[in-house]
Structure 1
Amino acid sequence: MISIALNINHKAYPCGAEVIKGLVGHVQPGKITAIIGPSGCGKSTLLNMIAGLEHAIEGDIRFENQDSETPRIGYIFQTPRLMPWLTTEENLALICGKNNPNIKDTLEAMGMLDKRHSYPAELSGGMQRRVSIARAFVYNPDLLLLDEPFTSLDAPTANQLRQQLLALWQRQQSTMVFVTHDIREAVMLADEIWFMSRSPTSIIHTVNIVQPPERLLNSGDGVIKAENLITTLLSRHPDLLSGTIK
C-alpha cells in the first residue's frame, strides 16, 4: 500500500494564474481520503497532478511505501470516458490485456457480467459508470483516484455505486483519494477529509473519521452518526464549504 506526500505550488498556463499555493498534505496508505472545496479551486488539477497528467512548477509529489518506482493508478473521471466502439469487456481489456481473468471477476463483482458484450450506447448512464469503476479496479491499482464520479446520477443509483465501489476497495485495499462536493458522501466513506480554500487552493482544515469496518455508509446507525458529525463541524466552521475558515 502506498502513501503520498504532497508539497505543491502550481500555476495554470498560459495565463500564469496561481491554482495551488502552499499545499502540504500526506495521504495515508490503504486509507480513503476525501477532498472537498468550492468549485474552481483546483481539486481536479490536484488529482491530475497526483496521476502525473499535470506537473507542479514548485515542490513535489512523492509516492512512498511502494514496491515499484511507478505505482499502478486507477482513475475514475466525472464522465465514464468509455471507448464507444468497444464492448464492456474490450474497454476493460484496454487496461489489463485480453483474456485477463480479472475482467470476468471484476464484472461479476459489479453485477455486469451479462453486459460484457454490450457497447456503451446500449448501457444506461449508471451502467456506464459501473464499467468505468470496473475499469479502474481491473488491474489491482495501488492508488485509486476519483473525480466526482456520482454527481449526475439519481440518489438510489449513486448510493448503489458507492456500495459497489466500497466492496471492490475492501477486496483490494488500494489507497484512495476522491474529490466530492457532497460532505455526506465524504463522511460516510472517508478516513480523512481535506477541506480546500478558494483558489489558489491549500488545505485549510482536516477531519479524521473513525470508520467501522463496514464504513458509515453501511452501518446501521451510520446516517445518524454522519449527520451529527456534519452538524458539529459546520456549527464550528460555518463557512468551511465555501473555502474559508475562522
Structure 2
Amino acid sequence: MPMLKSLLWRRFILPAAVVCALSVTVTAAQAALVNYSFTGNIDGIAPVLAPVSGSFQFDSDPTKSGGVYNGVVTGFTLKIGGGFSYQTTFAPGANAVTISQNTPMAGGSGDRWALVSAATGPTLTGTDYSPFSFDLRLDRVGGGLFGNTNLQNPPSFADFATSNLTAARWRLFFEDVNGNPAVVLGSISSLTAVPLPAGVVLFGIGLISLVGLGAGGLRNLRGSQA
C-alpha cells in the first residue's frame, strides 16, 4: 500500500502542478497585456542629436469602463539620446491609462488617450533635479477617436494620415529637493504594437500537452488497478 500511494503521488503531482501553472497562464491571457514601442524627439533639439525611444505595457481589458484606469500600467521605459534611460517605479496611484472625450486641449476640445507612470532614472545633467513622472498623450481636436471611454488600445498612428490624430506628445517631469519642477518634452513620431514573444505561446501549448500526458497516465493507472 505505501508503494501504491507513492506511485499515485508521483503520477498526480505533474498534472496537478501543470494545471496550476495553466491557471496562471489563462489569467494572464484574460488580462490582455499589450506592449507598444514608440520613437520621437525632444522639442528644440534636432532628432539626430537626441533621438527618443521607449516602450510601455498595460492591461487592455475592454470590459473595464469609467475612463480612468489606475494600476493598469505594468511597464514603461524611455531612452533619450542613447545615454539616458528611465523606467517606471510602479508607485501606487501613479500608473494609469485615461480615455477621455470632449476634454479641453490646445485648439479646443476633443478626445484623448493618455498614459502616466511614475519614473526613475538619472537627474538632469548638472542639476539635482530627479525624475518622478512620465506621460504621453494622443489627441484629436474635435473628437471622434473613440466610441466610448472603455479601456482600449491607443489609436493607430495611421490616423495621422487621415487627420484623426492632431497631436502625439510625451513629457518627463523632474523636481529638485525643494519640489521645484522641470520638464523635458517632445513629440512621438511612431507607435507600434509589439506582439508577445512566440516562446510564451509555445510554452502554453507545451503545458497543455503535459496535462494531456498526465491525465492519460492517471487513466492507465486506474485501469491497471481495476
Taking structure 2 as the reference length, what is the TM-score of the superposition?
Answer: 0.28
The structure whose RCO (Cα within 8 Å, separation 6+) is larger is 1
Taking structure 1 as the reference length, what is the TM-score of the superposition?
Answer: 0.26
Instruction: Give the strand-richer structure, 1 or 2.
Output: 2
Instruction: Give the helix-richer structure, 1 or 2.
Output: 1
